[in-house]
Structure 1
C-alpha cells in the first residue's frame, strides 16, 4: 500500500497561498468550522502529570482508544511554540489517530497550556532532557506494542532531538514524524525579522508576552524579566532571557543548542519522516534542502501547505491527519 506524499497535496485556490494556509492553521475561524469529530480526543481525556526529575513535572492528556479492537499503539503528540495540548492541529490529529485505534498522549511543554504554575524555572527550547525523560515515563505508564511521536513546528524540532537521545535512555520509540520543524533556529529568527510579513512576529510576540506574564503571576517572588524588556523585539527579548536564565553565554550559542541543521540528524537511528512545504513563510525551506540525512529519515517537501497548515478544503480539514495516520498505521503493521 502506497503512503501519501507531500506531492499529493493540491488545495484549491486561494488555499494555495502559504500565508493563508499559515494564518488559518491555528485560527479561531478554523476551530469553529471543524467538525465535532475533530475534538473527539478531548472526550474522556485523562489529565496526567509526568515527573521529569528534580521536582519538576510536565502536564499532558491521555485518551484511550475505544474502537473495540486491540490498540494499535501509543501516539504521542508535541505542539508548537506557545501552542498546547488543545491547539487545533493537535486536537484534529489526535482525534484522527484515536479513530484509527491509537491511544493518544498530548504533552504540554513547560510553561505551555495551563502549566505555568507547575515549575519555577522558565521554559526554553534547549530543555530537551526533560522531554526525553517525559517520553520514557509516558511509555512506562502506558505500555504499548508500538510508540510513535509526531510534533509540529518547534514540537517537530523537539521530536527529532528527543528521538536521537531516547535510545540512550532505553525509551522504546518506533517512529517519529515532524511537521514543519524548526531546523536552523538562527536562520528562522533572521527570516522572521527580515523576510516574513510583520504580522507573524507580532502574533508570536503577543502570545509569548502573555505567557511570560502568566509565569510571573504564578511565581511573584521570582524575577523573570524587567518590565521594559517585554517591549523588546523577538531577538532582543530572547537574548535577555537567555542571558538571565540559562548557562549559554550568548544568543548565538543558545540558538545553536537546539539546531538540527546540516548533518546533525545523522544521529537519528529510528525511522523518521520530515514533512514541510516550499511556501512556508515562517521556516525557510533552504535549511531542509541542506540537510544531510541517513537512509532511515524521509524528507518530504510539498509545494503547498504554509507553516503547519496543509488545509485541504473549506471545511478546514487537514491533509496531515491522513499523512500522519497512514505512516503510524504502517509502523503498527
Structure 2
C-alpha cells in the first residue's frame, strides 16, 4: 500500500504555494561521487552523480531531474538521502549543460528525448548488470522517462519506474504555463538560466540559423521553445515539439511497473489533462491527490518536510524488488 498524501492544513493555500515552499526548507546534505561520461552524440560529457552502497548487489535508484534541475534540487537531495539510508546505490544523471558542466554538443536537451534516456540507462545497465534498476523521472525528466518506457515497451532497461509531476500532455501544459500567475512566476525562474546558456552557445558560433534576437527577447517558455528548443532539435515549431514529445499517447504501452504521481493542483498541468485509467496500461499505477503542487508534496507539522515523496517512491520500488 502506498502512503496517502494530504497537504498540511497550514499549507493549503493552493498549487503555487505548495510548489514554491519546498525551496525554502532545510535540506539534507548528500555527498556524491561525480563521473563525467559521454552523451549519445559523443560530442560532450555529462555529469553522473553517484551514491555507492556498501553491498555491490544492492538495488540502484536512478533519477532524471526536471528542467534546469540537478543533483542538488530539493527532490534529488531528499530522494538520495533516503536511498543512502536504505543502503542502496543512487545515481542522478544530468542532461547536456546541466550540473555545472558546459555543453559542447550541437544538441541540448528536451522533454521528448527518449533516445538520450535510453543511452543513459544503457550506460548504467552495463555498470550494474545484475542489480535491480529503478528509475524516477521528475517533471521534464518524468515526461522523457515515460515516453521512453512507452516506446521501449518490454525492452525498457528498468525494473520499475516512477514518474513525478510530469507534464505528460505538453500542449496543455504549455497553455497552463503561458497564463497569469504561472507565467509571471515560472518563466523568469527558468529563463534566468536557459538564456545565458543559449547566449554562451551563440558566442561559440553554434546554431547560426537561429533568430537570436527573438530568442533573447523571450518572455515565456513557449517563446524559448519556439526559437531554441524546436529548431535545435529538428522540430518545425514549439507546437510540433509539444505534440511529438508528449508521453501521454504512449502510456498505454508501458510494460514495467510504473507509478505516475500528479497533483490535481499542479500549476504546470491542469487536472483535465491528467491521464485516466483508460489511457494507461495495466502496469501503470496512477496517483492523483488533490494537493501537492508541482514536485511539492510537503508533509508534517510546521515547517514541514519533503519525506512523503521519496518514501512513496521507494515503497513502490520495494514492493517490486
> Normalising by structure 2, what TM-score?
0.88
CA distance in 2, matches of 1:70, 1:242: 39
CA contact (8 A) 1:58 1:118 kept: no
Partner of 1:81: 67
- SS state at 2:84 partner: helix
CA contact (8 A) 2:118 2:157 kept: no
- TM-superposed deviation, 1:196: 4.2
- TM-superposed deviation, 1:237: 2.8
CA RMSD of aligned residues (A): 2.4
1:306 pairs with one of 293, 299, 315: 293
Describe the shift of the 1:166–1:140 C-alpha distance in structure 2 as closer, same or farther (beyond 3 A).
Answer: farther
Describe the shift of the 1:225–1:103 C-alpha distance in structure 2 as closer, same or farther (beyond 3 A).
Answer: farther
Partner of 1:188: 173
Superposed counterparts of 1:276-315, under 5 Å: 276-290=262-276, 292-313=279-300, 314-315=303-304
Partner of 1:23: 20
CA contact (8 A) 1:50 1:137 kept: no
Cα deviation 1:292-313 (Å, max 9, x = unaligned):
0111101100111100000114
- SS state at 2:48 partner: strand
- SS state at 2:40 partner: strand
Describe the shift of the 1:97–1:56 C-alpha distance in structure 2 as closer, same or farther (beyond 3 A).
Answer: same
Describe the shift of the 1:115–1:17 C-alpha distance in structure 2 as closer, same or farther (beyond 3 A).
Answer: same
CA distance in 1, matches of 2:7, 2:214: 46
CA distance in 1, matches of 2:122, 2:150: 13
Partner of 1:257: 244
Cα deviation 1:41-100 (Å, max 9, x = unaligned):
x24x2324144244444321111123xx56431110011011112212111101111211
Superposed counterparts of 1:54-73, under 5 Å: 54-66=42-54, 71-73=57-59
Describe the shift of the 1:317–1:295 C-alpha distance in structure 2 as closer, same or farther (beyond 3 A).
Answer: same
CA distance in 1, matches of 2:110, 2:56: 38
Unaligned runs of 5+ in 1: none
Partner of 1:164: 150
- TM-superposed deviation, 1:273: 0.7
Describe the shift of the 1:49–1:227 C-alpha distance in structure 2 as closer, same or farther (beyond 3 A).
Answer: same
